[in-house]
Copies of this chain bind each other. A is one copy, B any other.
Amino acid sequence: MMPNAIMDQQDDETVELGDIKLSPGFLLRIAQVKAFESFFAQIGGLGIKPGEFTVLWVISLNPGLKQGTIARTLHIKPAHMTKLVSRLAKDGMLERTPDTADRRAVRLTLTPKGEGFVARNRAKFLDTDLAQRVALTAEEAETLNALLRKFTGLD
């Protein structure tokens, strides 16, 4: 029979990706999916998400920073930042204090609970060794990091 080209296609799992494997955007998406999986596999039980921890981390390094400044730095949109901060405040991780000089602005500081949480989980979240757990050598991992820093403009 063999009627048309569709029938020639095997239903096996070998999929041709072609040049899309060269697209930075595509590669970055897949890479982030893997990083996410790795993140939750390692510390899914803690009930906190990458963005939330990052905010706590930045506040711990810059106590009293304005909410908007942090949002801009971490590419978090204002509307989302409001909810994220509310969640963390409700969890007792941080405190909002309105700025005395500019009464629109909100300054953020960690509570002792928040400080403890960051200190305790610091190593797990930074997981600079993620790359090692994949196929990269230490040197490759460092190169990848450096190129990503340059790509993102964080250098």
In the complex, what distance in Å separates the CA atom of A109 from the CA atom of B20? 18
Which residues 112-155 of A sit at the B interface, judged by CB distance below 8 A? 125-128, 130-131, 134-136, 140-141, 143-145, 147-154
Contact of A151 with B34 at beta-carbon distance under 8 Å, contacts A50-B25, A63-B6 already known: yes
Q: CB distance A15 to B65 under 8 Å?
A: yes
Please count how many residues in chain A sit with their CB below 8 Å of the partner chain's CB atoms: 75
Q: CB distance B30 to A31 under 8 Å?
A: no
CB-nearest residue of chain B relative to A27?
Answer: B148
Chain A residues close to B by CB (< 8 Å): 5-9, 11, 13, 15-36, 38-39, 50-51, 54, 57-58, 61-66, 69-70, 72-73, 75, 97, 99, 102, 105, 107, 109, 125-128, 130-131, 134-136, 140-141, 143-145, 147-154
A140 contact from B23, B131, B150, Cβ within 8 A: B150
CB-defined A-B contacts under 8 Å, sample of 7: A16-B62, A21-B154, A24-B128, A24-B130, A24-B141, A24-B144, A27-B145
